[in-house]
Structure 1
Amino acid sequence: MSIPAAISEQLSRLVLPGRAVIDGALVGAASGGTFDNVGPRDGAVLNTVAACDVADVDRAVAAARAAFEDGRWRDLHPRQKKKVLFRLAELMERDAEELALLESLDVGKPIRDARAVDIPLAINTTRWYAEALDKVYGEVGASPADRLSFATHEPLGVIGAIVPWNFPLHMAMWKVAPALAMGNSVVLKPAEQSPLTALKLGQLALEAGLPAGVLNVVPGFGAIAGQALARSMDVDMIAFTGSGPTGRRLMEYAAQSNLKRVSLELGGKSPQIVFADCPDLDAAAQAAAWGVFYNQGEVCTAASRLLVEASIKDEFLEKVVAVARTIQVGDPMDPETGFGAMVSERQMQTALSYIDKAREEGGAPVLGGSQVRIETGGFYVEPTIFDGVKPSHRLAKEEVFGPVLGVMTFTGEDEAFALANDTVYGLAAGLWTSDINRGLKGARKLKAGLVWVNGWDACDITMPFGGFKQSGFGRDRSLHALHKYADLKSVSVTLR
């Protein structure tokens, strides 16, 4: 594979972290166990990483609990907390290129996206919550003259954050930053497919001055380390982004242990609706293509269902295909690449199996449909589009988490919204129309936590992120996330 000499030089000097961060120290697993961290770019082993198990998780939780109870972080003046979190953001910015390389190597995303999107957004999230942490106010009740009543937000305690592999650092900071801002301690369990930036984050947090035990990072397998974290009697909350089956298990573990709180973001089957009065078909075509093919389709809000009004379907689909043809699969380490490798061989095979099933069920292949760059040893699937998808097809029902778009048609507004809502998920939805009444009506009718009109993924840290139905509950981003990591306490003082 040929990549720029400058990147080859950077890669030759890159140190890949592999040890857990527990109670302020970089440590191996107590058992001595490790696992191979495989790079999706070429299928080669990047490094070996500590395989944390129950003993390691218990140690991390104990460190987090001790740090919380003695108040070394919780009781710091807000000014001091802000200073540390701002310093963490500065260090992340200082090492942004290293973080981008680690992220791209680990999950196969294009280095240009890691540089321009993932790492800057993670840094911005850290800064935003650093600035927001002293903006959380309580409230004073309407008390009688002989009593003063007020409510305060207090940190929950120990937060177990279990994050996915598609945006490893970005999703980690959606949970870690507000949890720390509220004064909690955190045990972070990265996905086994993507431990590198989480481990680097743990190191940077210590360098920033975060006290030992306040942020612990335990790499390992979900069935072992993740389960241990969710079953722990000393964890007060699990904040999770990932698959529906895993989310259900986490709720079971919470019920079987200490009835800890659980916040879940479980993906989606998001519809993008294009009406015949779309104000800009070219812009909508760009959104339709990149809405599903960005990050190799490994996005929880991926617009994997394209619903087009029948009268413009052929014209519009031509435009979408034209955009998709410009998306070339390439080496993630090449700055010109806009579409890289899937995270693992397993995920690649999952996407290919959905493609095979779409053919079996009668979907009409329009573009792609194959594994590519096989000679590299990496895990690449080309952008794929099927027309003629029916509501009963698996491609219309199930989350692929890969670069596969299913196209459906409708003939009226009611049918469009009914098709859009015909899913167990409810994370995101979008519609394109020149009719403001239709746009606002659709925003109300679409059963999704995020609705975009005449755009896709048009939101930022200031707005809450989360879903309806089986896309989960609880919100990341915005000030709402701060409240998620706090308890509301009512206090009444009788005046004498």
Structure 2
Amino acid sequence: MSQIEVHNPFTGEQVFSQPSQSIEAISMHIDAAQGASRAWQVISPAERARHVLTALDYFRNHCDAIAAGITREVGKPLAAAKEELTFMLERAQYLCRFATDGALEARRYPEYEDEGFEGRIECRAKGVVYIITPWNYPLFCAINGTVCALLSGNAVLLKHSTAPSVGGHFEQAFGSMAGIDHLLIHAVVDYEVSARIIEETDINHLVFTGSVQGGRVVQQSVAKRAFNAVPEPFIQCSLELGGSDAAYIAEDADLEQAAFWAVKIGRLHNSGQSCCAVKRVFVHASRYDDFLARAQAIMESEKSGDPMAPDTTLGPLHGGERAVTGLLDMVRQAQHGGARVCTGGETEQIGGVTFLKPTLLAEVTPTMQVLQEETFGPVLPVMQVANDEEAVRQVCNSRYGLTASIFTRSRERAERFVAAVDTGTVYVNRCNFVDARLCWIGQRASGNGSLALAPEGLQAFSARKSVNLDPSQLK
């Protein structure tokens, strides 16, 4: 059995070590979770929401310890880890409100009554949802699936091996509610056991948030499941994958706000390690030089260093030296193709750790790898365009389809952009912001169109049951 180990990205210290749980042990946990779901789903959605809201107090009461654990395990600056926890609680409260407000109530059709019949579509719990969640936003990505699944009456098996302390906290918070144990179980498993969970065990739905390559591997395991002797061979798989999200700075944009959002929030937040970060910027030619100057100033104001230090804004890249080298290779390739480095483009050593300085690239061209592939770090390529039509063509020149954004003062221009781009989310005058009130959707290589968050996110974890009833023969 392999050993699951986690090391502090800044100090190199081992902060977690545990043997992977066996498939036999996990199967027993899943059996227990199936029983928990059967008891949990008979409770009304509003009552389930009340229990989930109470469970959230665990995170409030352990805020400092949870944030510090995240910083040690994934290198996220401590202030950012605390911020993530605050917004996670807000997101979970919205989701609970949807359950209370009737998102899971049966849909009834009055026209049936005119015909002397009754018809409704019910939302029923599926059973056990297996959720595989990544390291970059360990709280956000975990809460998106777990709370929606729990509110829908399911139990959860959560794999959070890259941030195991978070998985442990989720089990502490949600593992036992309403006197029902095993509602959420944290699985510490390696890739091999995880694949066998998907292929061989009694799970009813799968959620994977991570890279495109990881999504491919998971989807292959889902396909293999169809040939195995499991109670439910054809489970739904929700894929929320990466992106190479673009922002367009139109000729009438408020440049101060556009630069702040696209660079500070869009590119540099979480050291650039976000699936929906702004990874490509297209600027109208008339605003190009001004935008570059503002972007450069923002990048040069960032402070890399010890993520535990209060003034650090950029922590070490989670992938360490390998991640830095990969990004630097893209920068060098772009330079060889004629791109200009406005700032950054080199590494620095801090505390024995290699950091890539925030890097701004100008004069990039559409075929460069830095524009075509996902860049998971503080590198921002900027390309000028002649007009809105060219901007839309370049924004759509990608295999990804997670988000896109436009900065403009014109409602008409904004709506044209919204209609023209093929992404799950479109932002106007903001970016890199996940709102629990709106669906989160990955298109093309960024996912399989499954819905997360919003009332529809709760419904996505529900099995539908149609009821067609003739009341004339009933007492």
TM-score by length of 1: 0.88
User: Following the alignment from structure 2 to structure 1, what is the Cα–Cα distance between the partners of residues 343 and 78?
Assistant: 25
Deviation string, structure 1 residues 292-328 (Cα, Å, up to 9, x no partner)? 1110110011111010112221121011101111011
Query: Which residue pairs with 2:48 in the alignment?
Result: 81
State the shift of 1:434 in Å. Answer: 2.0
Alignment map for 1:116-135 (pairs within 5 Å): 116=83, 118-134=84-100, 135=102
Query: Which residue pairs with 1:409 in the alignment?
Result: 384
Query: Which residue pairs with 1:25 in the alignment?
Result: none
Tell whether the 8 Å contact from 2:45 to 2:152 is kept in structure 1 after alignment.
no
Determine if the alignment matches structure 1 residue 286 to structure 2 residue 260: yes
1:321 aligned to which of 292, 296, 301: 296
1:55 aligned to which of 21, 24, 38: 24
Structure 2 residue matching 1:354: 3-state secondary structure: helix
Q: Which moved more, 1:266-275 or 1:465-474?
A: 465-474
User: Following the alignment from structure 2 to structure 1, what is the Cα–Cα distance between the partners of residues 175 and 250?
Assistant: 52
Distance 1:436 1:129, change over 3 A: closer
Tell whether the 8 Å contact from 1:53 to 1:228 is kept in structure 2 after alignment.
no
User: Following the alignment from structure 1 to structure 2, what is the Cα–Cα distance between the partners of residues 377 and 55?
Assistant: 42
User: Following the alignment from structure 2 to structure 1, what is the Cα–Cα distance between the partners of residues 67 and 243?
Assistant: 26
State the shift of 1:459 in Å. Answer: 4.9
User: Following the alignment from structure 1 to structure 2, what is the Cα–Cα distance between the partners of residues 343 and 307?
Assistant: 28
Deviation string, structure 1 residues 396-442 (Cα, Å, up to 9, x no partner)? 10002111111111101111100000001111111112222111111
State the shift of 1:371 in Å. Answer: 2.9
Distance 1:491 1:203, change over 3 A: same
Alignment map for 1:142-157 (pairs within 5 Å): 142-143=111-112, 145-157=115-127
2:341 aligned to which of 365, 374, 388: 365
Deviation string, structure 1 residues 437-467 (Cα, Å, up to 9, x no partner)? 1111111111111111122235521111122
Tell whether the 8 Å contact from 1:40 to 1:379 is kept in structure 2 after alignment.
no
1:220 aligned to which of 169, 178, 189: 189
2:424 aligned to which of 449, 461, 472: 449
Q: Percent identity?
A: 25
Query: Which residue pairs with 1:196 in the alignment?
Result: 165
Deviation string, structure 1 residues 170-227 (Cα, Å, up to 9, x no partner)? 110000001000000111111x332221112212224655622221111233x22331
Gaps of 5+ in 1: 1-30
Tell whether the 8 Å contact from 1:274 to 1:431 is kept in structure 2 after alignment.
yes
User: Following the alignment from structure 2 to structure 1, what is the Cα–Cα distance between the partners of residues 177 and 308?
Assistant: 29
Q: Which moved more, 1:238-247 or 1:179-188?
A: 238-247
Tell whether the 8 Å contact from 1:53 to 1:220 is kept in structure 2 after alignment.
yes
Structure 2 residue matching 1:165: 3-state secondary structure: coil
Query: Which residue pairs with 1:22 in the alignment?
Result: none
2:358 aligned to which of 350, 362, 383: 383
User: Following the alignment from structure 2 to structure 1, what is the Cα–Cα distance between the partners of residues 354 and 271?
Assistant: 11
Q: Which moved more, 1:261-270 or 1:199-208?
A: 199-208
Structure 2 residue matching 1:179: 3-state secondary structure: helix
Determine if the alignment matches structure 1 residue 184 to structure 2 residue 160: no
Structure 2 residue matching 1:429: 3-state secondary structure: strand
User: Following the alignment from structure 1 to structure 2, what is the Cα–Cα distance between the partners of residues 349 and 234?
Assistant: 41
Deviation string, structure 1 residues 113-141 (Cα, Å, up to 9, x no partner)? 1112x111222233333333232221222
1:244 aligned to which of 208, 212, 237: 212
State the shift of 1:88 in Å. Answer: 1.1
Tell whether the 8 Å contact from 1:91 to 1:208 is kept in structure 2 after alignment.
no
1:493 aligned to which of 453, 465, 469: 469
- Name the aligned partner's letter for residue 140 of structure 1: R
Deviation string, structure 1 residues 335-354 (Cα, Å, up to 9, x no partner)? 11111111132433332332
Distance 1:63 1:439, change over 3 A: same
User: Following the alignment from structure 2 to structure 1, what is the Cα–Cα distance between the partners of residues 79 and 420?
Assistant: 37
State the shift of 1:379 in Å. Answer: 5.1
Deviation string, structure 1 residues 19-58 (Cα, Å, up to 9, x no partner)? xxxxxxxxxxxx5x53321011222211313423433332
User: Following the alignment from structure 1 to structure 2, what is the Cα–Cα distance between the partners of residues 431 and 87?
Assistant: 39
Structure 1 residue matching 2:404: 3-state secondary structure: strand
Alignment map for 1:400-439 (pairs within 5 Å): 400-439=375-414
User: Following the alignment from structure 1 to structure 2, what is the Cα–Cα distance between the partners of residues 440 and 332?
Assistant: 40
Deviation string, structure 1 residues 385-406 (Cα, Å, up to 9, x no partner)? 1111111111010002111111
User: Following the alignment from structure 1 to structure 2, what is the Cα–Cα distance between the partners of residues 390 and 493?
Assistant: 62
Q: Say what the alpha-carbon RMSD is for the aligned residues.
A: 1.9
User: Following the alignment from structure 1 to structure 2, what is the Cα–Cα distance between the partners of residues 220 and 378?
Assistant: 28
Structure 1 residue matching 2:278: 3-state secondary structure: coil
Distance 1:379 1:486, change over 3 A: farther
Q: Which moved more, 1:288-297 or 1:210-219?
A: 210-219
Alignment map for 1:306-317 (pairs within 5 Å): 306-317=281-292
1:477 aligned to which of 430, 453, 467: 453
User: Following the alignment from structure 2 to structure 1, what is the Cα–Cα distance between the partners of residues 202 and 176?
Assistant: 27
How many residue pairs get aligned? The number is: 458
Structure 2 residue matching 1:259: 3-state secondary structure: coil
Q: Which moved more, 1:200-209 or 1:240-249?
A: 200-209
Query: Which residue pairs with 1:26 in the alignment?
Result: none
Tell whether the 8 Å contact from 1:54 to 1:224 is kept in structure 2 after alignment.
no
Query: Which residue pairs with 1:3 in the alignment?
Result: none
Distance 1:388 1:178, change over 3 A: same
User: Following the alignment from structure 1 to structure 2, what is the Cα–Cα distance between the partners of residues 210 and 368?
Assistant: 55
Tell whether the 8 Å contact from 2:372 to 2:398 is kept in structure 1 after alignment.
yes
User: Following the alignment from structure 1 to structure 2, what is the Cα–Cα distance between the partners of residues 199 and 49?
Assistant: 13
- Name the aligned partner's letter for residue 62 of structure 1: D
Deviation string, structure 1 residues 242-276 (Cα, Å, up to 9, x no partner)? 11111122222112211210111111111111112
User: Following the alignment from structure 1 to structure 2, what is the Cα–Cα distance between the partners of residues 210 and 245?
Assistant: 40
User: Following the alignment from structure 1 to structure 2, what is the Cα–Cα distance between the partners of residues 356 and 209?
Assistant: 57
1:95 aligned to which of 49, 54, 62: 62
Determine if the alignment matches structure 1 residue 104 to structure 2 residue 71: yes
State the shift of 1:98 in Å. Answer: 1.2
- Name the aligned partner's letter for residue 455 of structure 1: R
